[in-house]
Amino acid sequence: MKITVFGATDILGKYIVREAIALNNEVYAFGRNVFTSGLQRLENIHLLQGTLFDEDQVYNALKDSDAVIVVINPPTDEFDKSRSLGIKNILKQMHKAGKSRLIYVGSTAILSDSSGKMLMENPDFPKESFDQAREDLTVMQLLKESKLQWTYIALPSVKDEEVTGLYKSSTEFIEAQNSLDVKAGDAGLFILNELNKNENVNSVVMVYN
């Protein structure tokens, strides 16, 4: 499978690229600092430097791929719209290129709690996480409005640790979500398995250890 990874220089992005190559996929690794990120230069890795807001760069990065994985860093402040504007351009270019499969990696803030409300609507939701939550909610709305086969991967705190294969996933509310975390290696493995199995198309799934 040919896979484009937007955000390949992110901690999780690096794990995804490495694991995808180990599973004999061909990867188009896209990022602003892709040439200085330490990613290996192998025959089946194409390093593509660019920004998510450039239409031609994004189109060229995904036009030959079978699937797209999006890992965008959390916003730095309330004015940082990298996630929503970035995914908007990616969706546009996927439609233009006739591509349909996309996996977006976001926070757990849009998941529902036991009362049926989103976590971000809880009065105790951390204020420092609200900008990210708001961006992820906008992305979720854009995904639902698109005609693509998308999956929203909701991750708790991501740890820079290797794959164990001992992860869990759920499409339902999990108690004490704030106490959970996930190893980057396991999150990457789940994402790649999802591309092969397509068990959570057009839905949100949480992955955790």
Rounded Cα gap, residues 202 and 114, in angstroms: 22
> Within a 13 Å sphere around the CA of 134, how many CA atoms are in the beta-carbon half?
14
The pLDDT tens digits for 32-48 are 888 877 787 778 999 99
> By mean pLDDT, which of 16-30, 56-70, 106-120, 191-205 is the weakest?
106-120
Q: What confidence score (pLDDT) does residue 150 get?
A: 98
* Cα–Cα distance list, 112 to 55, 86, 98 (Å): 34, 25, 33
Rounded Cα gap, residues 180 and 167, in angstroms: 11
Predicted TM-score (pTM) of the model is 0.94
Give 177's pLDDT tier (boundaries 50, 70, 90).
low
The pLDDT tens digits for 100-142 are 999 999 999 999 877 788 989 988 888 999 999 999 999 999 9
Give 178's pLDDT tier (boundaries 50, 70, 90).
low
Q: What confidence score (pLDDT) does residue 175 get?
A: 54
Domains of the chain listed by start with CATH number: 2-208 (3.40.50.720)
